[in-house]
Amino acid sequence: MLKQRMGLIAIGFFSVSQVAMANGQEQSKGFIEDGDSNIIIRNSYIGRDYKNGKQDKVTWGQSFTSKYESGFTQGTVGVGVDITGQYAIRLNSGTGSSGEAAYDLARGSVAAKARISGTIIKYGQQIPNVPVLQYDNSRLLSEIYEGTSIVSKEIAGLQLDASHLTKKEACRGARGSDSGRAETYLKNIDYIGGSYKFTEGLSAALYVSNMQDMLKKQYINVKYMLALPKKQSLTFNFNGYNTKLDRSFAIEKHGNADARDNKIWSLSATWAIGPHSFTVVHQRSNGDIGSIGDAPLLANSYWSDFNSKDERSWQAGYGLNFSVFGMPELTYSVAYVHGSNIDDGSNRGNGTELEIFNQFRYVIRNGPAKDITLRARASWLRVSSNVSNYNVSGNEIRLFADYPINLF
């Protein structure tokens, strides 16, 4: 049944190509000519100083990710291939990590692809990046899914996505050093949705997903940017997720067949003026449970996700581009987030948490080290003692160095 649905989706996408406004395949130069190959070298350090007796954790690792993305052969139907190789090595003992820590870990992935007009079908191992299924960029090695995906850009401003995935391979403890063993998950995951840019300042997106025997999720986004005089702008961004657990999974996860629903949303407003940006956010969680599964685009998501049952959280944020001081390569952001009304099942919904987040980001623009990105981020998290089942206080430092090398 799921394969039949994917087939119908493909037929629908291809039908649109008959009246396509943007025909990507017509611009194809060839399998080799349009190919792209690069290596991304990442060094990652994460140190967590937990409070309330929880064991501290330090992970430090180095990864190498090589990618080759071919172009498409010429003709009505173009074919190509994507190949990825990943290797990570542990540089410390993985202090505080659970389970046996591996010294290194390597894996590869291959996907075949075909393009008709502005629609691309890909089959094989791949890394999805949609609002309901998004990889975690803080990991040294990306999660890999196996299956079929379709991306259609036949109409200007409109992108449609659909996928049927049958396998997920992750790494236990993949944050930081990727020190854990590889694990394979065989649950089917399906999603369909799209985004549309109505005007230069207004866009919207809608996605739905189904993780077999686990949960169903819907996502909606509306973003509006209002240009103002004197290099100013005002941007409103709404992100919302609605999740419903399958009954059997609710029993397994919460021991209660009725604990199944969660709705969580965030609304942010950002005023940009020259090199400065000022942001305020409200985020709210409702339902029988806290948010579960992927909800990566919520505004109050730093070390804590502020996503417990019935939690309400506010954020005040500030960003600075140091171009005003002659350093356009450097940016800084800080956020103060306060959450209240937390219910972890052991209290009456009067728990609180507070996080102060900081990040410096520097991109080298010239010389032999061009395009190296350096990031230093720190979080100070404090959680009230009456919600220890939900979260725990601590201090966190993350350091990242990313060096992309374009081969051709």
CATH code for position 307 = 2.40.160.10
302 lies in some domain = yes
Q: Rounded CA gap, 245 and 262, in Å?
A: 9
- pLDDT at 94 (0 to 100): 57
C-alpha neighbours within 13 Å on the C-beta side of residue 170 = 11
- pLDDT at 407 (0 to 100): 85
Tell me what the mean pLDDT of segment 311-336 comes to: 96
- pLDDT at 2 (0 to 100): 44
Cα end-to-end distance, the chain, whole Å: 42
Burial class (CB in 10 A: 0-12, 13-18, 19+), 162: buried
The sign one gets for the Cα dihedral 29, 31, 32, 34 is positive
Quote the number of domains for the chain: 1
Whether the CB-CB separation of 82 and 70 falls below 8 Å is answered with yes
- pLDDT at 176 (0 to 100): 45
Judged against a pLDDT cut of 50, whether residue 179 lies above it is answered with no
Tell me what the mean pLDDT of segment 234-253 comes to: 93
256 lies in some domain = yes
226 lies in some domain = yes
Whether the CB-CB separation of 129 and 206 falls below 8 Å is answered with no
Task: Return the closest-CA partner of residue 241 out of 261, 211, 256, 268.
Answer: 261
Phi/psi-derived region of residue 341, left when phi > 0, alpha when psi is between -120 and 50, beta in every other case: left
Q: Rounded CA gap, 23 and 117, in Å?
A: 5
Pairing type for strands 133-134 and 351-363 reads unpaired
Long-range interactions of 229-233: CB distance < 8 A, separation 24+:
230/273, 231/273, 231/274, 232/271, 232/272, 232/273, 232/274, 233/271, 233/272
249 lies in some domain = yes
73 lies in some domain = no
Q: Taking the CA atoms of the chain, what radius of gyration do you get in angstroms? A: 22
383 lies in some domain = yes
Judged against a pLDDT cut of 80, whether residue 184 lies above it is answered with no
Give the number of residues written for the chain.
408
Phi/psi-derived region of residue 186, left when phi > 0, alpha when psi is between -120 and 50, beta in every other case: alpha
The percentage of the chain sitting over the pLDDT mark of 70, rounded to a whole number, equals 86
pTM: 0.88
132 lies in some domain = no
Residues in contact with 98: Cβ distance below 8 Å, sequence separation at least 6, in sequence order: 173
Question: What is the DSSP code string of 293-350?
Answer: S--TT-SS-SSS---SBT-EEEEEEEEEEGGGGT-TTEEEEEEEEEEEEEB-SSSSS-
Tokens of 208: 């739905």
- pLDDT at 172 (0 to 100): 45
Tokens of 197: 């840019």
Task: Return the closest-CA partner of residue 197 out of 159, 228, 227.
Answer: 159
Beta bridge partners of 386: none
Whether the CB-CB separation of 268 and 280 falls below 8 Å is answered with yes
342 lies in some domain = yes
Of 95-109, 274-288, 337-351, 353-367, least confident by mean pLDDT is 95-109
Q: Which domain holds residue 407?
A: 213-408
- pLDDT, greater one: 112 or 180: 112
CA distances from 281 to 197, 213, 317 (A): 23, 34, 8
Q: Rounded CA gap, 180 and 160, in Å?
A: 35
Judged against a pLDDT cut of 80, whether residue 387 lies above it is answered with yes
Pairing type for strands 158-171 and 182-185 reads antiparallel
Judged against a pLDDT cut of 90, whether residue 230 lies above it is answered with no
Beta bridge partners of 139: 175
Beta bridge partners of 348: none
